[in-house]
């Protein structure tokens, strides 16, 4: 228990240092809020991937998630931590990320399957920022996705990047988890990539931080 408490403290310090580093880049180097926000999303989410091997109870994760939710909420209210909050669009994504991490960990803990947490977090950490950055910063051969003649907020390139990266991540994760790659894991990888892409496609105001991992969790629970 003592080791777990120490590791929890290490995570608190580590994420705090990340936010400080991110804020310095925003203020000193004038990096756009969208990029510093995505960098924080990528590094923070990737950092929680080992959680199932570190924390034996979901209560530790709940405490960590609550602390950072409070930090994000307070800094937004007092107009600080602009490297996270300074974006043109309205978004609740930063608040949903700690919630998403906890809920996914809770489901993984209850199902006694670490993989149910690891794969959704990997896809959320890598595919989501990749889709956002490519989709909003590359204009050539790109455009808003149309459904029944109505334009969505997502782009073809962004969703395509999510689909491809989600598939690759799933293939690699399944191989290392099961030590084999067969037809079942191939189709599971495709299903997860498509489901995650659809969840990202229909999300709004940052809700994809919750819908993406939970959609992947659903597929894993149903087919594993």
Q: 152: pLDDT confidence band, cut at 50, 70 and 90?
A: low
| Predicted confidence (pLDDT) per residue in 64-114, tens digit | 999 999 988 888 888 888 878 776 666 777 889 999 999 999 999 999 999
Structure tokens at 86: 């300074």
Question: Hey, which bits of the chain come out as E strands?
Answer: 144-147, 150-155
Structure tokens at 12: 């608190």
Residue 2, pLDDT > 70, answer no
- Which comes out higher in pLDDT, residue 74 or 135? 74
* Confidence (pTM): 0.90
Q: Measure Cα distances from 96 to 11, 23, 117, 209, 213 in Å.
A: 19, 20, 16, 6, 11
pLDDT band of 204, cuts 50, 70, 90: confident
Per-residue pLDDT band for 195 (boundaries 50, 70, 90) equals very high
What pLDDT does residue 126 have? 95
Question: Domains in the chain: how many in total?
Answer: 1
pLDDT at 191 over 80: yes
Please tell me the distance from the alpha carbon of residue 190 to that of residue 168, in angstroms, as a whole number.
9
What confidence score (pLDDT) does residue 137 get? Answer: 64
Residue 154, pLDDT > 80, answer: no
Q: Lowest-confidence range among 3-17, 19-33, 146-160?
A: 146-160
CA distances (Å), 5 to each of 54, 70, 189, in order? 10, 20, 36
Between residues 145 and 104, which one has the greater pLDDT?
Answer: 104
Range of the domain at 69: 2-223
Q: How high is the pLDDT of residue 3?
A: 77
| Percent of the chain whose predicted confidence (pLDDT) is above 90 | 44
| pLDDT at 4 (0 to 100) | 80
């Amino acid at each position: 228990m003592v080791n777990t408490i120490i590791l929890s403290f290490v995570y608190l310090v580590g994420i705090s240092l990340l936010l400080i580093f991110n804020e310095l880049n925003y203020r000193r180097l004038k990096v756009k809020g969208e990029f510093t926000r995505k960098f924080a999303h990528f590094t923070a989410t990737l950092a929680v991937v080992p959680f199932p091997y570190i924390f034996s109870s979901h209560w530790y994760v709940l405490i960590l998630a609550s602390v950072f939710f409070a930090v994000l909420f307070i800094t937004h209210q007092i107009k600080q931590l602009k490297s996270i909050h300074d974006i043109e669009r309205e978004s609740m994504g930063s608040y949903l990320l700690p919630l998403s991490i906890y809920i996914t960990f809770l489901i993984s803990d209850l199902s006694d399957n670490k993989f149910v947490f690891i794969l959704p977090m990997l896809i959320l950490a890598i595919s989501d920022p990749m889709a956002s950055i490519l989709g909003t910063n590359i204009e050539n051969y790109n455009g808003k996705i149309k459904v029944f003649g109505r334009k969505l907020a997502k782009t073809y390139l962004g969703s395509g990047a999510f689909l491809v990266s989600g598939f690759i991540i799933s293939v690699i994760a399944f191989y290392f988890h099961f030590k084999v790659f067969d037809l079942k894991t191939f189709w599971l990888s495709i299903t997860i990539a498509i489901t995650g892409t659809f969840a990202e496609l229909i999300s709004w105001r940052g809700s994809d931080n919750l819908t993406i991992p939970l959609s992947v969790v659903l597929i894993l629970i149903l087919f594993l």
